[in-house]
Structure 1
Amino acid sequence: MVVNVVRRRAQGTLRLFLVTSALSAVGVPAMAQEQAAPDAGASSQGLEAIVVTARKQRENMQTTPISITAFSSERLEAQGITQISRIQDFTPNLTFANVPSNSGIASNAAVYIRGIGQNDFAPTVEPGVGIYIDGVYLGRTAGGVFDLIDVDSVEVLRGPQGTLFGRNTIGGAINITTVQPSNSFHAKGDIKYGTDNRINVRAMVTGPITDSLSAKISGGIFSQDGYVNAPYLHKKLGNQDTKMIRGALKFAPVGSGFSATLAGDYTRDKSNGAPVTISGIDPTATGSFVTLNNYIATGFGNPADCLTAAMASNTACYNQRLFSKDTNYSTGTTFSDLELWSASLTLSYDLTDKIQLKSISALRRINGSFAQDRDGSNLTINHVYDIFTQKQFSQELQVVGKAFDDRLNWVAGLYYFQEKGEDINPLHFLVVEAQSGGYYDYKDWAAFAQLGYKITDKLTLTGGLRYTQDRKSYLPDQYVVSTLAPFLVIPPGTRIVPYETVKANVNKLTPMVNLSYQADRDLMLYATYSQGFKGGGYTQRIFPPEPSLPSFKPETVDSYEAGFKFQGFNNRLRFNAAAYYTDYKDMQLLVADASRVGPFITNAGKARIQGFELETNIAPGEGWRINGSLGLTDAKFKKLVAGVQGLTLDSKFVLVSKWTASASVEKDIELGDLGSVTPHGDWTYRSGFFTNANGINTPELYQPGYSLFNANVRWQDSRKIYSLSVGVDNIGNKKYRIFGDYQPSFGFYMQAYDRGRQYYVKAGFSF
């Protein structure tokens, strides 16, 4: 009966949507986002099948019973996406922001799916959304906003993936697959020139060396001038200077059922610094460092005098002379420098026609240093420096098989992950100079299994379970170097927290159960319960001294999801929908506390998150492609722990929009011997959200809802070898906020805005 009710509602929704689709075909704008672009022939025949690996095996997306958005390399090209963070524009309920956190790092992925994620790269807290490249988990978000050079597909999996992906995928996972070495020769490349001297150069070549050995090498250079003036630093912030190289060798003897792929990559990402400016101060923060500075600047008089017109040019005051949207008046060291490399060995062997064994071994390392004059002035109110290193090793064993005439599909495996490193933070505040940070050593073991059984030809029951042991050791190395005010006397060398190793250990079972029903050839319905968790940890940034390092517990979610997937009308329409409800417990939030200098992480309480995703792809024929998406993330705090400051039950989740939407349309126009031209236009919308990374719903840092319009025209020759594209991103030149920061202990508002309208031209080849 439940299935019938769900099916009736799905069919009702489908009928309504088909009316909209019909209108769109005759000129009414339609919501759109096709995840994998068919070739010209496919567009006249309908939509092609999309293959995903979300469940550790190759499956048709329309028969995979989870909420997933998939991008092929062709779709990324059509949308003009060359950086991973831009997939947020076309994925419902996804935030993929570049947030400098509390250090000034210029490449830090703040990823949220259905309202759950994390924006701090500090090693004492884990990301809430797992990012995987060729099956390898990226343990840290530093360097996580990267350019795409040889990506084959990107999959966004919504909801906890606690069975097959496991570690810290409480919000979801982003699964990236690169182009693998091929037995046939293939080469491609392009060069893009655009606004602010943007120069992107990408190239890839793959082919056979022998009958059993093939290779691939790819690389990219990405550069662009900054767009925030920093006159006293003699540079512009927000620039890009990135170099990447990736290579792979694949050994696969013909007919052996065995393959071995050795891969490696190297990235150097340097920047003048994040494009932040100071937009104001909080005059009500009477105990802040800004107020204290102005108290001193006025000769221990009234700090408010610094804000008068008569004192506007007084360089001893922290006031309106520093406020700007496009200029940063910092004088202290500001830069970002990241070096990343990794190596992996993937072994695969077909034990039988029905059973495959796979091993993925990987090493990854990050070396980084970054600094920021966060107060954006000639005054020393908040200067920070980071020395960051990370080494990780992971080993995964998978066994994938089928049995009982393919009625049973199963996946089982073992997983080991270790990372260690340091994040040392020299800092200089108005009243104190100190060292923060410490050294970490984490280990994670897991065993997992998932079985799907066809109860009937239409009804499939899938169950999964993962057991995880998470072991963390952290040694804080934090002490006072000197105090800079007569009323604050702390002897140099005083420990801010004890120099003692602290541990955060947890054992956790995360289950999943899914029921799917293939109603007919075109329509599949499903319902899922899943659980996810993210390990606990410690607050890294502490001042004044405390008797012990503040800690927080793991957070957990219980997620309930139901949806359907439809592909019909001779494969000309694809329409997928999912609705979800999430119980979110022991939320780990970065919050501010007036009694502490700097933000800290705490288990803030409980919340519920509910919403839905709708996605459609339409191929009405004659070269037309129309795509769309709509997402709702309705998040509400249900209970807050006593003592949490800056939040109420009416507070909103930061960096998370309630509504996300996108639409795109394109048409292949054949020109005979002259090739073809494909005009493309798209629109994306995000409703309003608070940008303050430190949890507080600061009105000054609220970004109202906004729309973005992009367009490009692509020409290809008749042999599909050469191409030329001309495009405009952010046609309306919308200068929306991408980051904000306010901490009561400092008292100023820091913000970053989008670059605005960008033009580009790109020439490429592929053969």
Structure 2
Amino acid sequence: MRFGSSLAAVAVCLAMTPAMAQAQAGQARGAEPATADDDAIDDVIVTARLRSENAQSIPTSLSVVGGTLLDRSYTVNTQGLTTLIPSLNYSSANPRNTAFTIRGLGSSVVAVSQSNDGLEPGVGFYVDQVYHARPATAAFDFADVERVEELRGPQGTLFGKNTTAGAISITTRAPSFTREGFAELSYGDHDFVQARGWASGPISDSVAYRVSGVSTRRDGVLDNVRTGRAANTLGTQAVRGQLLFKPDDVIQMRVSADFTNFQAYCCTQVYYGVSASRRPVARQYAALAAGIGYRVPSTNPYDRLTDIDGPLGADTNEGGVSAITDVTLPFGTLTSVTAWRFWNWDAENDRDYIGVPIQLSQHIPSRQDQYSQELRLASDGAKPVSYVVGLYGFRQRITGRPISIYGPAAAYWLIGPTVTTGTAPNQTVTAVPGNLLDGYGQDGRTDFRTASYAAFGEVNWRIVPTLTLTGGLRYTHEDKDGSYATTVSGGLATTNTALVNAKLSILRPQSYTAHDSDGSLSGRGNIAWAITDGVLGYASYARGFKSGGINMSGLPLDNQNRPVLATAVVRPERNTTYEVGLKTQVWDRRIVFNIDGYYTQVRNFQATLVDSSQTVALRGYLSNIPEVTVKGIEADAAVNPLSGLSLRAGLAYADGEYSDYPAGPCPLEVQTATTAACNLSGRRLASLPRFAVTGGLDYTRPVGDGAVFVHVDTASRSGFNGDPSLSRATYIRGYNLTNANLGYRFADGVEVAVFARNLLDADYIQNVTVQAGNSGLILATPSDPRTIGLTLRFHS
């Protein structure tokens, strides 16, 4: 019913996505229409193949969102892109635990544990051609963006860092030798305040500048009935400065520096449901809560009530410097991309998510530094044979300090009143002091390093004017080293062996090192046929490679409570994708319609899993899923039916499954004292909606000396499971999110608009968490409530 109403909402808006976004991208750059008809959809030039090309002439599946559409839709981060691109999914319990997927593939984050520093994302994230190694950086706001390109499928033969699932490439607006400026101020419900702006212009005849920034704050949307302080606030600031040096038509250099900060009373979750678990009934959530007379503030997650009693807060920042140098040669362009980036993370959480002092605090202060250098040569593309060849180098280091502290209720909740040792008839029962774990905790150090080197190239051969063959290869070699060491201390001092072992069952010291070295050849082949001037058909084969990972969050234990060192390194992931597609432009280019079908097989899919064989603690760790397959159809359309009216729509259908997964994690409701693994082969892939539909409408009508404008975006997704174990308790129902704004643009460029985020005040779940400790309690992050506000914009 929810999904049906979502489809109805799309129909009402005449909605539909990315192709029309291409027109918006052209508008953002002030591009002139390619025809004399003002109602024709503008060409949009993208760099998906590392040279400037018309998006409709590229024989691969991609979605493009232009800067004008980003501005009109108030999209300032990657999460907002999911309203505009149906094949893109995003999950974030907090900025560190961030994951985004394309066609259901990429990085998986299990919220019961922190994201794993030793796992690379399957979806590459690029800003101005620079690869961002940590998915957490995608959670930050961005400003002054020219366009966003979502490239689906393996991208190793061109993009600097090999990625198996796809890439998100963000291009910011470059410095201009024409003076321009923009300022925007918005205010809305929950004391939402957002300010954005940029300015650009010449410094001299050969040097131009650009500065831009965005600042967002909002009060919390989860009311803490215990403290009276609302949680999950927003507080982010981002600034970017650029210089463009262009002494002549042969060489130019673009130097950028940016910094983004996120500080908020964030991020926690609320009660979602309860499931049976591995524990005896007397040790599961219902009995535990009743035993101390505890009740959550509400069993309805959309009441948005919490009663956490521990500290909460996030303080994280990232930034860097890059230089892009282009040298025009008689036969092409030589490009150098040099960058250094950093990422700092510190946050503290009440990890039991309820008002019982079980786990008082957990946080992992971390620091990441990365250095990258890319050198490539691209031909001018005018000849029958064109090419791109390049070299890439990347180094990364991440250091962390995992810290956990338990409270006075931890022994009751996690261990119980007694512990039994020995076997019948010589069993010994020992009473557990209530304060056994009070103050018990972990401190540690982690160090992860990566060195990656690659050579890549792609050649296009135009056999005849209407037929082009493409072939590309990439060789990647990566070395990874990781060290993990933790100690435990605190709690009740005791020499009783049974009690000592009981404490160690919650946290025990671990220390290990691991090394991985991989080298692999990947590539793709493509054939494109220009059937008519406005119709392009293509078929492609691509193979992607992602090197092995190292577990940097601790290892699961064997029957003797020893770390299973065999799981320290996970095997490389290999992706094979077949795709066919059609791109069309008709009705004097007032209609654009694209469609593609694909089949993807991933062997040794890298994922973050939970060791469900543990009776007490749940530990997240990296592992390989033998085989995952996804097949589907994607379509997008754009129509300019009337002057001033633009409609866009997108559809993504995906059928993903664990095609070979004989020893997966067990759903909570089927766990018993003897279950160690469950066969999930043939089951649906987690975190992947079967259907996703996006749409939008833009309408402008002259009124007086100015114009009235209307903008609508809507996105619907069918239900999916939010946890790799596929427990019934972690299923997320389908939902719709609709945003809109209505305003007036004066003749002098000033705009006044009323905006609505979540216009229909839809209630839905963004992500779920299984409470650490295996009690069966499920937590979730509910959707943000409707926000209505006012925006003022100034253009110059």
Q: TM-score, normalised by structure 1?
A: 0.88
The answer to whether the 8 Å contact 2:482/2:552 transfers is: no
Paired residues for 1:384-395 under 5 Å: 384-395=362-373
Show the counterpart of 2:685. 653
Q: CA 1:437 to 1:111, structure 2 compared with 1: closer, same or farther past 3 Å? A: farther
Instruction: Tell me the alpha carbon deviations over residues 482-539 of structure 1, each in whole angstroms, 9 at most, x when there is no partner.
Output: 5669634259999957644311111011111010001111000011100112222222
| Contact 2:630 2:654 survives alignment (8 Å) | yes
1:162 and 2:156 are equivalent in the alignment? yes
* Corresponding position of 2:594: 576
Contact 1:108–1:144 (CA<8 Å) still a contact in 2? no
Of residues 31-40 and 209-218 in structure 1, the stretch that sits farther from structure 2 once superposed is 31-40
Residue 546 of structure 1 corresponds to: 563
Name the structure 2 match of 1:722.
750
Q: For 1:31, which of 9, 13, 16 is the aligned residue?
A: 16
Partner of 1:738: 766
**Whole-angstrom CA distance in 2 between matches of 1:239 and 1:227:** 7
Which of 518, 523, 527 is the equivalent residue of 2:530?
Answer: 518
Does residue 462 of the first structure (1) align with residue 508 of the second (2)? no
Find 2:713's aligned residue among 682, 685, 689: 682
Q: Would the alpha carbon gap of residues 555 and 287 (structure 1) be closer, same or farther in structure 2, given more than 3 Å must change?
A: farther
Match of 2:258 in 1: 265
2:517 maps to which of 480, 488, 505: 505
Residue 627 of structure 2: aligned partner: 606
1:172 aligns with 2:166: yes
2:175 is aligned with 1:181:
yes
* Equivalent in 368, 376, 385 of residue 345 of structure 2: 368
Aligned with 2:780 (options 751, 755, 765)? 751
Q: How far is 1:763 from its partner?
A: 0.7
- Secondary structure of 1:455's counterpart equals strand
User: Are the counterparts in 2 of residues 129 and 168 from structure 1 also a CA contact under 8 Å?
Assistant: no
Q: Secondary structure at the match of 1:756?
A: coil
Residue correspondence of structure 1 range 119-158 to structure 2 within 5 A: 119-120=108-109, 121-158=115-152
**One-letter amino acid matched to 1:722:** V
The aligned residue for residue 489 of structure 1 is: 500
Selected match of 1:709 from 727, 731, 738: 738
Measure, in 2, the Cα distance between the counterparts of 1:436 and 1:139. Answer: 23
Is the 2:362–2:404 Cα contact (8 Å) retained in structure 1? Answer: yes
CA distance in 2, matches of 1:492, 1:637: 36
Tell me which of 543, 546, 554 is aligned to 1:534.
Answer: 546
Q: Secondary structure, in 3 states, of the residue corresponding to 2:520?
A: strand
Give the distance between the partners of 1:140 and 1:592, measured in 2 at CA: 21
Letter in 1 for 2:100: V
Aligned counterparts, 1:90-109, within 5 A:
90-97=84-91, 99-100=92-93, 105-106=94-95, 108-109=97-98
Residue 552 (structure 1) shift: 1.2
CA distance in 2, matches of 1:696, 1:32: 32
Return closer, same or farther for 1:697/1:766 CA change in 2, 3 Å cut-off.
Answer: same
8 Å contact 1:160–1:171 — kept in the other structure? yes
Report the CA distance between 1:709 and its aligned residue.
2.4
Q: Does residue 418 of structure 1 match 2:403?
A: no
Structure 2 unaligned residues grouped into runs of 5+ = 1-8, 110-114, 411-436, 668-677
Q: How many residues align?
A: 714
8 Å contact from structure 1 (residues 44, 619) kept in 2:
no
Q: Which has the higher contact order (CA 8 A, sep 6+)?
A: 2
Gaps of 5+ in 1: 1-23, 295-302
Separation (CA, whole Å) in 2 of partners of 1:452 and 1:66:
13
Pair 643,55 (structure 1): closer, same or farther in 2 beyond 3 Å: closer
Distance 1:27 1:689 in 2: 25
1:547–1:158 distance in 2 versus 1, CA, 3 Å: closer
Equivalents in 2 of 1:604, 1:382: separation in Å? 33
What's the counterpart of residue 577 of structure 2?
559
Which residue does the alignment assign to 1:50?
A: 44
Partner of 2:722: 691
* RMSD of aligned residue pairs (Cα, Å): 2.6
For 2:619, give the aligned amino acid. G
Indicate whether 1:349 and 2:327 are aligned.
Answer: yes
SS of the residue 1:142 aligns to? helix
- Could you give the per-residue CA deviations for residues 566-590 of structure 1, whole angstroms, max 9, x where no partner exists? 0121110000111000011111122
Q: 1:571/1:530 Cα in 2 relative to 1: closer, same or farther (>3 Å)?
A: same
How far is 1:219 from its partner?
1.3
Which of 361, 381, 384 is the matching residue for 1:407?
A: 384
2:141 and 2:237 in contact (8 A); partners too? no
**Which of 103, 107, 112 is residue 101 of structure 2 equivalent to?**
112
Q: Contact 2:351–2:772 (CA<8 Å) still a contact in 1?
A: no
- Write the distance in 2 (CA, Å) between the matches of 1:30 and 1:335: 38
Give the 3 Å change call, closer, same or farther, for CA 226–489 of structure 1 in structure 2.
same
* Seq. identity, %: 25
Task: Give the counterpart of 2:207 among 195, 213, 230.
Answer: 213
2 CA distance for matches of 1:129 and 1:594? 27
Question: Which residue is equivalent to 2:655?
Answer: 634
Measured against aligned partners, the alpha-carbon deviations of 1:207-228 in whole angstroms (never above 9, x if no partner) come to: 1000011111111211001111
1:489 maps to a residue whose letter is V
CA contact (8 A) 2:296 2:306 kept: no
2:12, 2:488 → 1: CA distance? 67
Residue 148 of structure 1 and its aligned partner are, at CA, apart by: 2.7
Q: 1:299 maps to which residue?
A: none
Tell whether the 8 Å contact from 1:482 to 1:491 is kept in structure 2 after alignment.
Answer: no
1:126–1:497 Cα change, 3 Å = farther
Deviation at 1:372, TM superposition (A): 0.9
Residue 304 of structure 1: how far off its partner (Å): 5.7
- Cα distance in 1 between the residues matched to 2:170 and 2:702: 33
Q: Is the partner of 1:560 in helix, strand or coil?
A: strand
- The 1:346/1:333 distance shift into structure 2, 3 A limit, reads same
Render the CA deviation track for 1:195-248: whole Å, top value 9, x for unaligned.
211111011011100001111111121100111122445532211111111101
* TM-score in terms of structure 2 length: 0.85
Among 672, 686, 695, the residue aligned to 1:663: 695
Verify: 1:476 aligned to 2:469, yes or no: no
How far 1:425 sits from its partner (Å)?
A: 1.0
How much has 1:447 moved relative to structure 2? 0.5
Note if contact 1:689-1:704 (Cα within 8 Å) is conserved in structure 2.
Answer: yes
Q: Please tell me whether the aligned partners of residues 213 and 239 of structure 2 are also in contact (alpha carbons under 8 angstroms).
A: yes
Q: CA separation of 1:443/1:563 partners in 2, compared to 1, >3 Å: closer, same or farther? A: same
Residue identity opposite 1:285 in structure 2:
R
Q: 1:604 Cα deviation (Å)?
A: 1.9
The answer to whether the 8 Å contact 1:72/1:152 transfers is: yes
Counterpart secondary structure, 1:122: coil
Distance 1:320 1:482 in 2: 29
Give distance in 2, aligned partners of 1:491 and 1:708: 47
Distance in 2 (CA, whole Å) between partners of 1:600 and 1:147 is 29
